[in-house]
């Protein structure tokens, strides 16, 4: 699939996702190129149809885009709950376990996900995999002592790489932390890995999102498929 085709599927998933946002909702808005299409559609509905909702965003980038459309964006601590959060994902498996953080926003994404009554992911079909892990797993790490965290990951065979931008500078998250990407190839035991990562001193959060989604909207050439996780 080339980038143009992939973008068309992302856009279709974003537009489908936007249908779930209703007047009066408090909505979590994720981060990434698929979410950009979602926010474009919500912006269109805001301006053309008078849609009115309050947004909480998982990054400053998304807040800026949404405010540009006149969407009201507030701080997460200014709302007592989030009705629905819609976000992208880097990979999702058949059990709806996901990897997120390709856009370095995993910490705020997990906080919004945790505080939302309902969570939807919007992805193109290339993100749906049998086993997660081909996509490098992002881990948010405090800069102080990050070199030691990376050495620990190396010793465990996690193949960590400090994320750099195109100019070779270390990428900083919205909380001014580093992202370390783990090149694992495949993750057969995500729960155990999640435990290990979160118990590593210096790790703030990791991009394993296990049992955290209610619906996945998959952009597909025949139209978006809406998958509802059973029992959720
Ligand atoms: C950002 C994320 C994104 O949701 C994920 O990287 C998917 O991005 P895209 O829609 O651009 O493929 O987790 O931290």
CATH of the domain at 92: 3.40.50.1360
Atom 4, ligand 1: residue with shortest CA distance: 88
Segments forming the whole domain that contains residue 163? 137-206
Pairing state between β 203-206 and 137-141: antiparallel
Q: Based on the domain organization, do 124 and 152 belong to the same domain?
A: no
Which ligand 1 atom is at minimum distance from the Cα of 122? 10
**How far is Cα 219 from Cα 223, in angstroms, rounded to an integer?**
6
Supply the pLDDT for residue 232.
Answer: 77
User: Is the per-residue pLDDT at 54 higher than 90?
Assistant: yes
In a domain, 226, yes or no: no
Q: Based on the domain organization, do 53 and 67 belong to the same domain?
A: yes
* CATH, residue 162: 3.30.70.260
Question: By percentage, how much of the chain surpasses pLDDT 70?
Answer: 100
Q: Based on the domain organization, do 35 and 75 belong to the same domain?
A: yes
User: Is the per-residue pLDDT at 210 higher than 80?
Assistant: yes
Q: Based on the domain organization, do 13 and 65 belong to the same domain?
A: yes
Ligand 1 neighbourhood includes 89 CB (under 6 angstroms): yes
| Backbone dihedral angles phi then psi of residue 162, each to the nearest 5 degrees | -65, 130
CB 206 within 8 A of CB 137: yes
Total domain count, the chain: 2
pTM, to two decimals? 0.97
Q: Which residues are catalytic?
A: 109
In a domain, 232, yes or no: no
In a domain, 123, yes or no: yes
Instruction: State the CB neighbour count (10 A cutoff) for residue 121.
Output: 28
Q: Based on the domain organization, do 96 and 180 belong to the same domain?
A: no
Region of 46 (left: φ > 0; alpha: ψ -120 to 50; beta: rest) is alpha
CB 116 within 8 A of CB 170: no
Q: Based on the domain organization, do 9 and 38 belong to the same domain?
A: yes
**How far is Cα 230 from Cα 142, in angstroms, rounded to an integer?**
36
Q: Based on the domain organization, do 40 and 75 belong to the same domain?
A: yes
Measured in angstroms, how far is the CA atom of residue 186 from the centroid of ligand 1? 19
- Residues with Cβ within 8 Å of 167's Cβ and at least 6 positions away in sequence, in order, are none
Question: By percentage, how much of the chain surpasses pLDDT 90?
Answer: 98
In a domain, 39, yes or no: yes
Average pLDDT over residues 144-162: 98
């Amino acid at each position: 699939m080339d980038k143009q085709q992939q973008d068309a599927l992302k856009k279709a998933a974003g537009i489908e996702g936007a249908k779930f946002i209703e007047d009066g909702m408090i909505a979590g808005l994720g981060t990434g190129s698929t979410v950009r299409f979602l926010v474009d559609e919500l912006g269109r509905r805001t301006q053309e149809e008078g849609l009115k909702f309050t947004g909480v965003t998982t990054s400053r980038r998304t807040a800026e885009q949404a405010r540009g459309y006149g969407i009201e964006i507030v701080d997460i601590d200014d709302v007592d709950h989030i009705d629905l959060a819609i976000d992208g994902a880097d990979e999702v498996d058949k059990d709806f376990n996901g990897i997120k953080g390709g856009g370095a926003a995993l910490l705020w994404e997990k906080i919004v996900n945790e505080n939302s009554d309902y969570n939807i992911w919007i992805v193109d079909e290339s993100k749906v995999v049998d086993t997660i892990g081909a996509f490098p797993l992002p881990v948010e790490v405090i800069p102080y002592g990050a070199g030691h965290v990376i050495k620990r990951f190396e010793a465990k065979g996690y193949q960590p790489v400090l994320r750099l931008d195109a100019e070779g500078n270390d990428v900083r998250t919205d909380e001014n932390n580093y992202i370390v990407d783990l090149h694992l190839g495949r993750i057969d035991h995500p729960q155990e890995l999640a435990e290990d990562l979160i118990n590593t001193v210096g790790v703030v959060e990791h991009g394993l999102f296990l049992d955290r989604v209610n619906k996945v909207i998959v952009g597909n050439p025949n139209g978006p498929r809406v998958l509802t996780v059973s029992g959720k």
